[in-house]
């Protein structure tokens, strides 16, 4: 008698994958976090996008609909950290440390330009891949925070040319 001639085995081979797929999606539907609007007084993490990990010249931070872009400009030996957001931001606070958690600066509030979508901070700190940036943005009484390496602070391509 062949293994596959048994009707119970054949039924199990057909039904088991179907049950696995149905249960996978059912569990996801039951336990996933429901998206909700940011609530005033709450804090939410910003996710550092992939361009924050290499020498891209900028770092994009994102949480659902809220996003911000961080970049560094060098002027006369002084680094200028620029934070821009599409949303009106009430306050931006930033602090720096080394990767080994030795503090480089106390958290500092940034100053804004004519509108509240662009914030700047001049610093003489060495902002390299061994420097960590901790940033908090406050918009609509909601705080968004992130921590990322400053590897993005230098713009460099593989071919040493800007395209």
Question: Which pair of tokens denotes residue 157?
Answer: 């391509």
- pLDDT tens profile 1-57: 688 889 999 999 999 999 999 999 999 999 988 877 888 889 999 999 988 888 888
Cα 143 to the center of its chain, rounded Å? 14
Cα 130 to the center of its chain, rounded Å? 18
Give the pLDDT score at 49: 92
Cα 3 to Cα 13: distance, rounded to the nearest angstrom: 12
- pLDDT tens profile 81-113: 899 998 888 999 999 898 887 888 888 888 887
The dotted CATH code for 43-153 is 2.60.40
Q: Is the model's pLDDT at 155 over the cut of 80?
A: no
Question: Three-state SS string across 93-115, please?
Answer: EEEEEECCCCECCCCEECEECCC
Question: Which pair of tokens denotes residue 67?
Answer: 């996003």
Mean pLDDT, residues 134-148 taken together:
93
Per-residue pLDDT band at 135 (split at 50, 70, 90): very high
């Amino acid at each position: 008698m062949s293994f596959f001639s048994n009707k119970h085995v054949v039924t199990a081979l057909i039904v088991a994958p179907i049950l696995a797929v149905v249960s996978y999606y059912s569990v996801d539907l039951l336990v996933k976090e429901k998206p909700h609007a940011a609530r005033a007084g709450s804090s939410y993490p910003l996710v550092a996008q992939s361009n924050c990990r290499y020498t891209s010249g900028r770092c994009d931070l994102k949480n659902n609909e809220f996003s911000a872009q961080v970049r560094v400009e060098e002027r006369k030996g002084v680094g200028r950290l620029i934070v821009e957001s599409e949303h009106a931001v009430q306050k931006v606070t930033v602090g720096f440390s080394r990767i080994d958690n030795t503090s480089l600066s106390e958290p500092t509030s940034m100053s804004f330009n004519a509108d509240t979508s662009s914030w700047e901070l001049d610093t003489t700190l060495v902002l390299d891949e061994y420097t960590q940036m901790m940033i908090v943005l406050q918009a609509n009484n909601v705080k968004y925070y992130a921590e990322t390496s400053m590897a993005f602070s230098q713009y460099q391509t593989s071919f040493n040319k800007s395209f």
